């Protein structure tokens, strides 16, 4: 018989907890927001409501999606006629993204539903705990983003 290894307590593993949190979010999203439009797709719509006419790369940066994922999300939204892709008049090689009227209506409808879903999702926490929770996960997410895209080395 091989060497015995004790089980690890996963309640202290952030990746395990993040996966469980994502599963809960996914379940709530599908039941309370939409089964057709995903959370990343909504994030793209939302970014284009905030800043219409961004290019695909910039939208991906704004919402934290890598190049292949943002390309697939944009393609799906284009197929659903929620986005238009127009050539940049200042740079003919670049395309800019804009929401269609259907995209604007979808965003409006989903924004209301996401607000309700977030209330349910965060219900176990009080107001101060919610603020602390957001601050902490934002810091961890920002640090993780730095690992993916390290800042240029400074000239010391």
Cα–Cα distance, 149 to 47 (Å, whole number): 20
Contact 82, 100 (CB under 8 A): yes
pLDDT at 97: 97
Percent of the chain topping pLDDT 90: 78
Confidence of residue 72 (pLDDT cuts 50, 70, 90): very high
Give the helix, strand, coil percentages of the chain, each rounded to 5: 65, 10, 25
Cα–Cα distance, 156 to 108 (Å, whole number): 48
For the segment 2-38, what is each residue's pLDDT rounded down to a tens digit? 678 899 989 889 999 999 999 999 999 999 999 999 9
More confident residue, 136 or 144: 136
**Among 62-66, 68-72, 148-152, where is mean pLDDT lowest?**
148-152
pTM, full prediction:
0.86
Which tokens in the block code for residue 145? 């983003």
Using alpha carbons, list the distances in angstroms from residue 49 to 27, 85, 94, 111: 25, 15, 20, 11
CA neighbor of 110 nearest in space, from 35, 27, 21 = 35
Contact 97, 55 (CB under 8 A): yes
Task: Go through the domains of the chain in sequence order and give each one's CATH number.
Answer: 15-147 (1.10.10.10)
DSSP-derived letter for residue 151 is P
Tell me what the mean pLDDT of segment 81-86 comes to.
96
Tell me what the mean pLDDT of segment 105-121 comes to.
97
């Amino acid at each position: 018989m091989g060497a015995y290894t004790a089980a690890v307590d996963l309640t202290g593993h952030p990746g395990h907890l993040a996966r469980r949190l994502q599963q809960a979010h996914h379940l709530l999203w599908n039941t309370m927001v939409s089964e057709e439009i995903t959370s990343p797709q909504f994030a793209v719509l939302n970014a284009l409501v905030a800043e219409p006419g961004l290019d695909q790369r910039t939208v991906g940066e704004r919402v934290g999606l890598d190049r292949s994922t943002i390309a697939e999300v944009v393609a799906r939204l284009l197929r659903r006629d929620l986005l238009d892709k127009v050539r940049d008049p200042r740079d003919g090689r670049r395309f800019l993204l804009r929401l269609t009227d259907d995209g604007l209506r979808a965003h409006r409808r989903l924004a209301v539903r996401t607000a309700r879903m977030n209330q349910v999702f965060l219900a176990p926490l009080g107001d101060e705990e919610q603020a602390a929770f957001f601050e902490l996960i934002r810091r961890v997410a920002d640090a993780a983003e730095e690992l993916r895209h390290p800042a240029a080395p400074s000239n010391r």
